[in-house]
């Protein structure tokens, strides 16, 4: 009996430890565990990033697109827009929670709706960014050792010679007499298959480069002194492409990418995809809560605690994106 009394005095938390309900405590437990998961992913990314620092793609050269502005060089603009939208959705969620504390159904409805819209815009933007990243723009050639050969020329800009990328499609010489069909099971070898045929082969790229004297090769390695990618001389460019070029690549996938080290694409797809899944889940949950608010479910309970719980999750998703944005796009 005395032991039970002592334990009761020691705990003294009742049904709401730390003055938090069971639901909020469980949400905090989930957030902490999920934060550890994201921390492990970002730590692995950071380790790989600095291990291959001389071959890592430069974010300002990779994320340069903006919807409906084809050909406009807008480095990081759209990513900044996505970040702004997600942060503003976190603000509207704060306002929704505050309105819930005052049992103001009308304001909770408006702010929850704005939060859902912000989440939908972010998810759609991320899908567009993935599509652009996968398709690529310029194309490149992969060498036997896994190096990525990009193409461009020097142009004068503000009184200085600046290297500008050139798309392979703008100079490659296509062999119109060459015919090549995709190997399929119906052709007789049922156990043999292959992926899509590259748009060009190395010989076509080489012929195009020989026909355009201004085209040079740039490797995906960074010069330590200048901090820029290494550009080869004309003779060295032709020699490297002829002797070491093996495969034309366009865009990015889990095997190779035109931007540089393949590991960059692996981390990009995995970490941003994992975060995108969290945002999509949050949008779905917010939609459910929004309709419950409209139907007056929480008004009848005289408590909008559910809005506060989903708000905790939404703020966590926003905070994680700040770290993802910093690691992938700014560092």
pLDDT of residue 146: 83
pLDDT of residue 192: 47
pLDDT of residue 186: 58
Question: Cα dihedral sign for 315, 320, 326, 329?
Answer: negative
> Contact 139/249 with Cβ under 8 angstroms?
yes
- The alpha-helical segments, DSSP class H, found in 12-76 are 22-51, 59-62
Where in the chain is CATH 1.20.120.80?
28-137+263-330
pLDDT of residue 273: 95
Q: How far apart are CA 101 and CA 103, in angstroms?
A: 5
Beta strands in the chain, from DSSP E residues, in sequence order: 140-143, 148-157, 160-165, 216-222, 229-231, 245-249
Kindly state which CATH superfamily the domain 28-137+263-330 is placed in: Cytochrome c oxidase, subunit III, four-helix bundle (1.20.120.80)
In angstroms, the Cα distances linking 69 to 78, 90, 120, 158 are: 11, 28, 21, 23
Element holding 250 (H helix, E strand)? none
Residues of the chain with pLDDT under 50: 1-8, 11, 189-193
Phi-psi bin for 160: left (phi > 0), alpha (psi -120 to 50), beta?
beta
The conformation of residue 214, written as its DSSP 8-state character, comes to T
User: What burial letters (b/e) apply to 92-115, b meaning 16+ CB within 10 Å?
Assistant: bbebbbbbbeeebbeebbbbbbbb
Chain Cα centroid distance, residue 243: 34
pLDDT of residue 196: 64
């Amino acid at each position: 009996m005395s032991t039970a009394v002592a334990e009761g005095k020691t705990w003294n938390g009742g049904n709401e430890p730390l003055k938090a309900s069971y639901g909020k405590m469980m949400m905090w437990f989930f957030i902490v565990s999920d934060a550890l998961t994201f921390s492990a992913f970002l730590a692995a990314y950071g380790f790989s990033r600095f291990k291959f620092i001389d071959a890592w793609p430069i974010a300002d050269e990779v994320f340069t697109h903006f919807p409906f502005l084809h050909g406009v060089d807008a480095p990081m603009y759209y990513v900044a827009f996505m970040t702004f939208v997600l942060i503003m959705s976190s603000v509207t969620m704060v306002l929704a929670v505050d309105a819930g504390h005052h049992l103001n159904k009308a304001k909770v409805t408006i702010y929850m709706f704005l939060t859902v819209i912000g989440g939908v815009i972010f998810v759609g933007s991320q899908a567009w960014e993935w599509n652009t990243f996968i398709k690529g723009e310029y194309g490149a050639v992969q060498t036997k050792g896994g190096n990525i050969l990009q193409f461009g020329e020097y142009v004068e800009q503000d009184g200085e010679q600046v290297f500008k990328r050139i798309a392979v499609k703008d100079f490659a010489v296509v062999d119109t007499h060459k015919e090549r069909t995709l190997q399929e099971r119906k052709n007789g070898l049922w156990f043999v298959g292959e992926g899509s045929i590259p748009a060009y082969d190395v010989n076509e790229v080489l012929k195009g480069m020989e026909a355009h004297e201004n085209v040079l090769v740039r490797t995906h390695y960074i010069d330590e002194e200048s901090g820029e990618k290494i550009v080869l001389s004309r003779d060295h460019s032709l020699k490297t492409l002829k002797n070491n070029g093996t495969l034309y690549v366009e865009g990015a996938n889990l095997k190779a990418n035109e931007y540089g080290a393949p590991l960059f694409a692996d981390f990009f797809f995995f970490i941003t995809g994992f975060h995108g899944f969290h945002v999509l889940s949050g949008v779905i949950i917010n939609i459910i809560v929004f309709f419950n608010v409209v139907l007056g479910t929480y008004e009848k309970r005289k408590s909008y605690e559910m809005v506060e719980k989903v708000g905790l999750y939404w703020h966590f998703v926003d905070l994680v994106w700040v770290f993802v944005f910093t690691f992938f796009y700014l560092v």
